[in-house]
Structure 1
């Protein structure tokens, strides 16, 4: 059983994962990242899990990497860092991933936020990449994803100065999707997750993939993928069910086929 991760039973198609290293502000050590990656792999295989929500606690979503663990690694250890594979597995999760963020989301915590598809933040949340203060730089997507999300000027300021931004600025910059009261962040994230979980699973997956294509391909290629995905969905039973349900004025019962 995970020791640094609280896993709630799947309900209404939603799996809730809570980072649980409160003594270290949920710092992302190798063990926690391994547990998180394994749990996402499990969610990927589970047909009953349609959306995953990740959260921390009221004080911190995750305050970065575990500095004490980093201090123990020499150059060889860094070159063979197992966390690289864990981050790749987290970043490649194909089902919708929602982050509910309160308090600090710094360094690896901010990078984990950027792996999410939707981010609901409490008004007390703060986001930053302070690695420069340690004489290093972000190493789990903190330069690449951040620039794509917030643009060059703000990404440069955050990474080169190490200064954090508050939830309001993160919202304006496009780093998060919504701000709520801190005590409501998790419930709002679960509300959004349940709404998505009620949609046709194949359509949700292909829609997510199409949206992500827009970040790493040209417009013509993205449009071709979108059209191909649209055509594939036209032949599904869920598409027929969705149209019938609309015509009959009833909720659709999607089966993922």
Structure 2
């Protein structure tokens, strides 16, 4: 019976999307409704047989094909409507929520996403893939994509709210990140001591807030990112830079495509490179406020931690530290690491690291492609202070801007992120990731 319903859906779906926006919108709505009717006849995702999964996949693919054709034809018009002619600047969550209201069936609504996010990853329907399709098309357009990337460089409301307190006290405890002003330097200390600074939605929020505030405070001229001291049994009383993505949270379904994977790259990581966009006296010549950044790596920088190192102006490491980017082992795409690592280390080494899982120790010759200076662990703090003093210069800020522009033009980043939005959403719901995240989370506990 379900196969017969699928066949009727196939017959009802036009091979091309109408040029008329109203008719095209109805096509998306009708297809989504028909596919939802099919899914409603099936058991919950975790209880589906192989035949059920095949039917669900076929039904979803029909709807996703229509959404893709619709966005190819009308994507810029959709974005223009959602931003009221580019006069509004909605961040990722606000944009996708607005799209769900204005274009039913194009992306899942807030109620469906709330239900979905309460499930373990393996029990989900995969609605984030539809969000990935949406952001793929929004970002790949030079018109809407450039506006969206610029929007994500705006400071967050939380940062604007906390900025006066930091300017007055010089210190903030954001939960997973501490921010301290010491002289002209902002010290961002990642302090998820129980999980080795593994990143989740919460840490991305705190990191973006801290980066925004450091960039906005006019008395800060340079920034340092370092890991704090751990309480984790295996690394108790040792500093750790980052264990990368929080795999237990991924397995539990608590790593979001929009609020973590896309926000991280388009938000605080991109701000470390390009600064924060805000009204200021020099806006006519420099639309963003940019500052140099130093990273100090204790123990290890794994996954997302390794990705971070590629955007800093000076990277220091303890002699007993190592760097790894085990993306293929984890089954996901390592953010913009694939965009940046090859440019820094070359194609062969980047494939050894990303595809083969090679671990690079700080004292290896190849570490020079990722690290600028290696010192004994007890000298890392002093080395970081020297680096901060050396980079505290207006000429450094201007030249790092030009270096970043040459190494990673904004358009190259936008095009990469468009494809990343789609491919990462597919990876999140692939069979190998479903089986791997549980094993990896157990291995790191």
Match of 1:183 in 2: 378
Q: CA deviation at 1:82?
A: 3.6
TM-score (normalised: structure 2): 0.45
Whole-Å Cα distance in 1 between the matches of residues 332 and 298 of structure 2? 26
Give the unaligned 5+ runs of structure 1. Answer: 218-257
| 1:37-90 CA-partner distances (Å, limit 9, x unpaired) | 11111111111110000001444210111111111339xx75434442233222
Q: State whether residues 211 and 271 of structure 2, in contact with CA within 8 Å, keep that contact through their aligned partners in structure 1.
A: no
Please give the alpha-carbon distance, in whole angstroms, between the structure 1 residues aligned to 2:186 and 2:257: 33
Match of 1:92 among 271, 274, 280: 271
The answer on 1:53 being equivalent to 2:53 is no
Correspondence list, 1:100-111, <5 A? 100-111=296-307
* Aligned position for 1:67: 247
CA distance in 1, matches of 2:249, 2:203: 12
Structure richer in strand, relative to its length: 1
Structure 1 distance, partners of 2:343, 2:262, is: 21
Partner of 2:43: none
Cα pair 1:37 1:87 within 8 Å, conserved: no
1:104-135 Cα offsets, whole Å, 9 max, x none, are 10001101122211101110111011122222
- Work out which of the residue numbers 338, 343, 361 in structure 2 matches 1:143: 338
Cα distance, 1:119–1:127 mapped onto 2, change above 3 Å: same
RMSD of Structure 2 on Structure 1 (CA):
1.9
Structure 1 length normalisation: TM-score? 0.75
Q: Distance in 2 between matches of 1:149 and 1:170?
A: 14
Residue in structure 2 matching 1:80, options 250, 258, 262: 258
Q: Does 1:41 align with 2:212?
A: yes
Q: Give me the whole-angstrom Cα distance separating, in 1, the residues matched to 2:243 and 2:385.
A: 22
Distance 1:59 1:43 in 2: 22
Query: Which residue of structure 2 lines up, in the alignment, with residue 3 of structure 1?
Result: 175
Instruction: Write the deviation string for residues 4-36 of structure 1: whole angstroms up to 9, x where unpaired.
Output: 11222x222111111101211111111112111
Residue segments in structure 2 that go unaligned for 5+ positions in a row: 1-172, 229-237, 273-289, 410-445
| Structure 1 position 158, deviation (Å) | 0.5
| Cα distance change on mapping 1:81 and 1:5 into 2, 3 Å | closer
Conserved 8 A contact 2:201-2:256: no
Quick one: which of 133, 144, 157 aligns to 2:329?
133
Residue equivalent to 1:234: none
2:362 corresponding residue in structure 1:
167
**Structure 1 residues 71 and 64: CA distance shift in structure 2, 3 A:** same
Aligned to 1:16: 187
Residues 360 and 366, structure 2, Cα contact 8 Å, conserved in 1: no
Could you say which structure has the greater relative contact order, defined with CA pairs below 8 angstroms and 6 or more residues apart?
Answer: 1
The equivalent residue for 2:317 is: 121
Question: Where does residue 226 of structure 1 map in the other structure?
Answer: none
